[in-house]
Amino acid sequence: MAKIKVGFGFDVHQLKQQHPFILGGVNLEHTAGAYGHSDADVLLHAICDALLGAANLRDIGFHFSNTDDRWKGISSLILLQHVVALLAEKNWQIGNIDAMVCLEAPKINPHIPAMQANIAKAAGIDIEDISIKATTNEQLGFIGREEGVVAYAVCLIERI
């Protein structure tokens, strides 16, 4: 029987006016964008945390500290590539990723295929193994007021 594990990831970033909004490696047109040390891609950060957690390799902050200038402004697709390499060192490969983004705007549905392609390329897996969904917060809380964006991810990893 093959050894499998699952992981869960979560990330949240504040939205700032006139700031780039990168999600799944795609630059979204919007009046505000996620703010953070790297490119603040909440979707990729949640995916990285899910993968690291499944492999018992701590969390994204442990590997990519927001006090380390090496990661300042970096594309989170590069962080994902590093995470996949860490998994491979421990003889793990990705089975699948299922992610959910919670935000009021912009609508991301038209961008999901591009996000899946970016993630598939960075992670070395098939697009069919990546599910990305979106929902709103029904105008409630900081998400509803468009002050922040949240992403959740689960993954399955398999022993190579």
Domain chopping of the chain, boundaries: 4-159
137 is in an annotated binding site: yes
89 is in an annotated binding site: no
pLDDT at 104: 96
84 is in an annotated binding site: no
136 is in an annotated binding site: yes
60 is in an annotated binding site: yes
Contact 57, 90 (CB under 8 A): yes
pLDDT at 1: 72
12 is in an annotated binding site: yes
pLDDT at 149: 98
pLDDT tens, position by position, for the chain (160 residues)? 789 999 999 999 999 999 999 999 999 999 999 999 999 999 999 999 999 999 999 999 999 999 999 999 999 999 999 999 999 999 999 999 999 999 999 999 999 999 999 999 999 999 999 999 999 999 999 999 999 999 999 999 999 9
> In this structure, what is the dihedral angle of CA atoms 59, 44, 132, 88, given to the nearest 10 degrees?
-60
41 is in an annotated binding site: no
65 is in an annotated binding site: yes
94 is in an annotated binding site: no
131 is in an annotated binding site: no
8 is in an annotated binding site: no
Say which CATH class 4-159 falls into.
alpha beta
Q: Which residues make Cβ contacts (< 8 Å) with residue 149, sequence separation at least 6?
A: 12, 13, 15, 23, 34, 42, 101, 102, 103, 143
95 is in an annotated binding site: no
User: Three-class SS of residue 80?
Assistant: helix
30 is in an annotated binding site: no
Whole-structure pTM over 0.95, yes or no?
A: yes
